[in-house]
Structure 1
Amino acid sequence: MAQSIILPVSYIQIAIRELSNKGITPEQIFEGTKLSCHSIQKDGYVTLDQFIKVILNTRKLSNNPAIGLLLGSFLHPSTHGPVGWAAINSPTLSDAINIFQRYSQIRTPFILYTTLTHGEDYIIRLTLTDSLKAAHLIFIEAMLMLLQHIIEFILGRPMTEANLYMNSFKPSYADSYGQYFHCPVHFNSGHLEIRLPIAMKNTANPNADKHMYQIALEQCQEAHHQLRRDINISTEIYDYISANLSCSPTLEYTAIHFGLTPRTLIRRLKDQQTSFQKIKDEVYAFQASGYLRRSVIAIDTLSVIFGYTDPANFRRSFKRWFGMSPQQYREQQTEILKRH
């Protein structure tokens, strides 16, 4: 079952603030996305496709090919939520980068962070796991700027000893890189990575707050757990309904059980190309067919097991699932068994 990537609106809000200074309205930025100021405030998330469209609109409206660098310069670590807070309160530089390595999927699931050492270099490598289409370089530039903010926050100075390697062709605005990055930038490289002297790997963070680090780390762990559950939410709901057939769980009650609002549950299931009613029908159809094939239990009794107060409603539901009545289904299955 496909899982649609969703991203927090905080990144889009930065673009809105920047372009509003140039007289560009949110409506122009949202063109072709079905988004509005109201919808992003209410939902708090957008799909990857919507995000890409907003970023491409931003580049076009600003007439600034280096918009990724500009937006990245506004990315304070706090924009990255608990991941950013945990990073800037980490005990050492390597601890901060490990936070991104472990929990980046919470905020930017399309980027995989890897750390390795090679000779005298400590390497932070970025790998894109999903297609960002024409917005590829914009995203990369913004995320590299964020990493620079994190590294320099811990170092307490510009990362002049670093080297930045881009696995892309040199863009027409390459001179702009020197205005934003504080180290040499190399294009057409085999990997996308930041290389630091290995001696900097365990640089102590003078601004680390142990209490804040622990709180942010716990939030990262909870958000990661929630993300894992979201990915498998349809399976968990299937199991939950199966275990509570006689209660006939409603959408609202199920949402409460999973600590969600009905609206959020609907959206997350839609992201997985399904719905609560579709899952519920699958559960009941599977369970009902099993009872009818393997037992002689009365159909009226079966309706009670499935939480129907009126057996007629159960019969109508069954006919919707299988195109025949429960009795016809039982007779059909009996004939099939006889033939085998």
Structure 2
Amino acid sequence: MKDRTQDQTLALYAIKAVDAAEIRGFDCSSHIAAAGLHRHDLQDSQQLIPVENYLRLIDLLITESKVQGLGLSVGQHTALPEHGVLGYALLGSKTLRQALERLQRYVILYGEMLELQLQQQGDDAWIAVRTFRRPHMSNAVCCYLTEELVANLCNIGLDIEIGYQWFSRIEFGFRSPGYPEVYAAELGCPISYEHRESRLYFPAPLLEHPFECRSERTDVLCEQQCEMLLNDLQLERGLTSEIHHMLARAPENIPTIDEVATAFNMSISTLKRRLSDEQMTFRQIVLDFRLGMAKAYLQKSPLSANEISALLGYSDPPSFYRAFRRKFGLSPQQYRVQI
């Protein structure tokens, strides 16, 4: 069975698009319904919704609202922390290079829509952007996704204090959308169209620009969460993977089985039965998640075992030590010495 998290994205992106259209006086209610969504699907920005429904909604909003540069507006008004664990992983990076490399690796976590590649040649560096050609994805939607990404990347410039308009030139892999003056005003650099792929150029020395306000603790936490989510996509583990995705968004506040069942709109008995079909229990999922994160912290962070215990929501360190030893046959301290 194909893992459904690979075909889902955060409701955040649909919420932002609807807000951007409605603030201009456009009523999105009928379009939300036509896309197969409901208003209650768009109440929690960190809830997952199907990518196909999201893209259908974007297509409808672009076609009907006639808002010029809708993707630019959405990207501009989406701060990095709003992207959840991926946003915090970017903010926790040491340099712009590390942030872009992480974005390149983890962008797929929120749906197969965009593919990025960071490249460098001499004093020039660029980010190549390609859209996944999904069935029925219009050119307008491809344009929107690229617009949104570009504006999000411009926001990174604000976070590291190099300014919003930090690209030296941009080549778009699509025809001019008919409002080049909007692009020029927003992006502030030479822009051309109809290239083989979209490329965002900038001076290569910027790659080593540091993130001054980074937190090493947050950095380690979020990178490992992203890795676990990426592994889930590769393992294609169905509902188990979706619950892992939910746990990884708030590892210090592990939800109860009641809360998880409510989030997935099913009864506790149905949740247990679905997990049983995957030869898994909710308790085992939580335990595997916590101990998998613990191993990653012991390998890649300076955090003490007691700090890791608290970070993963254990009520007391001895409970964590016992669980770790049962799983791996070693205490956390012994495991760290051996790696």
- Scaled by the length of structure 2, what TM-score is found? 0.64
Is the Cα contact below 8 Å between 1:73 and 1:180 reproduced in 2?
A: no
Matches within 5 A, 1:230-309: 231-233=236-238, 261=261, 264=264
Q: Is 1:176 aligned to residue 182 of structure 2?
A: yes
- C-alpha distance in 2, partners of 1:178/1:108? 29
- C-alpha distance in 2, partners of 1:160/1:200? 9
Q: Is 1:128 aligned to residue 131 of structure 2?
A: yes
- C-alpha distance in 2, partners of 1:163/1:148? 13
2:192 to 169, 174, 186: 186
**CA offsets, 1:145-164, max 9 Å, x none?**
11121134224324445221
Matches within 5 A, 1:11-160: 11-41=13-43, 44-131=47-134, 132-133=137-138, 134-160=140-166
Q: Which amino acid aligns with 2:106?
A: Y
1:141 is displaced (CA, Å) by 0.6
- Scaled by the length of structure 1, what TM-score is found? 0.64
1:173 is displaced (CA, Å) by 0.9
1:185 is displaced (CA, Å) by 1.6
The residue number in structure 2 matching 1:310 is none
Change (3 A) 1:191 1:19: closer
Q: Which amino acid aligns with 1:221?
A: E
The residue number in structure 2 matching 1:8 is 10
1:227 is displaced (CA, Å) by 3.1
- C-alpha distance in 2, partners of 1:2/1:221? 19
- C-alpha distance in 1, partners of 2:101/2:72? 24
Change (3 A) 1:167 1:20: closer
- C-alpha distance in 1, partners of 2:187/2:129? 17
1:69 is displaced (CA, Å) by 1.6
Secondary structure of 2:170's counterpart equals strand
Greater Cα radius of gyration, structure 1 or 2: 1
1:218 to 220, 224, 228: 224
The residue number in structure 2 matching 1:269 is none
Change (3 A) 1:76 1:235: closer
The residue number in structure 2 matching 1:286 is none
1:142 is displaced (CA, Å) by 0.6
Is the Cα contact below 8 Å between 2:129 and 2:198 reproduced in 1?
A: yes
1:25 is displaced (CA, Å) by 3.8
- C-alpha distance in 2, partners of 1:117/1:32? 43
Q: Which amino acid aligns with 1:44?
A: Q
1:212 is displaced (CA, Å) by 2.4
Is the Cα contact below 8 Å between 2:96 and 2:206 reproduced in 1?
A: yes
Is the Cα contact below 8 Å between 1:31 and 1:57 reproduced in 2?
A: no
1:204 to 202, 210, 215: 210
Secondary structure of 1:201's counterpart equals helix
1:15 is displaced (CA, Å) by 2.1
Is the Cα contact below 8 Å between 2:167 and 2:202 reproduced in 1?
A: yes
1:2 is displaced (CA, Å) by 5.4
Secondary structure of 2:199's counterpart equals strand
Secondary structure of 1:168's counterpart equals coil
- C-alpha distance in 1, partners of 2:126/2:23? 37
Change (3 A) 1:24 1:186: closer
**CA offsets, 1:84-119, max 9 Å, x none?**
111122110101101101211112432121112123
Change (3 A) 1:16 1:171: closer
Secondary structure of 1:109's counterpart equals coil
Is the Cα contact below 8 Å between 2:3 and 2:233 reproduced in 1?
A: no
Change (3 A) 1:106 1:265: farther
The residue number in structure 1 matching 2:251 is none
Q: Which amino acid aligns with 2:37?
A: L
- C-alpha distance in 1, partners of 2:146/2:103? 15
Secondary structure of 1:13's counterpart equals helix
- C-alpha distance in 2, partners of 1:130/1:170? 19
Q: Which amino acid aligns with 1:126?
A: V
- Percent identity over the alignment is 17
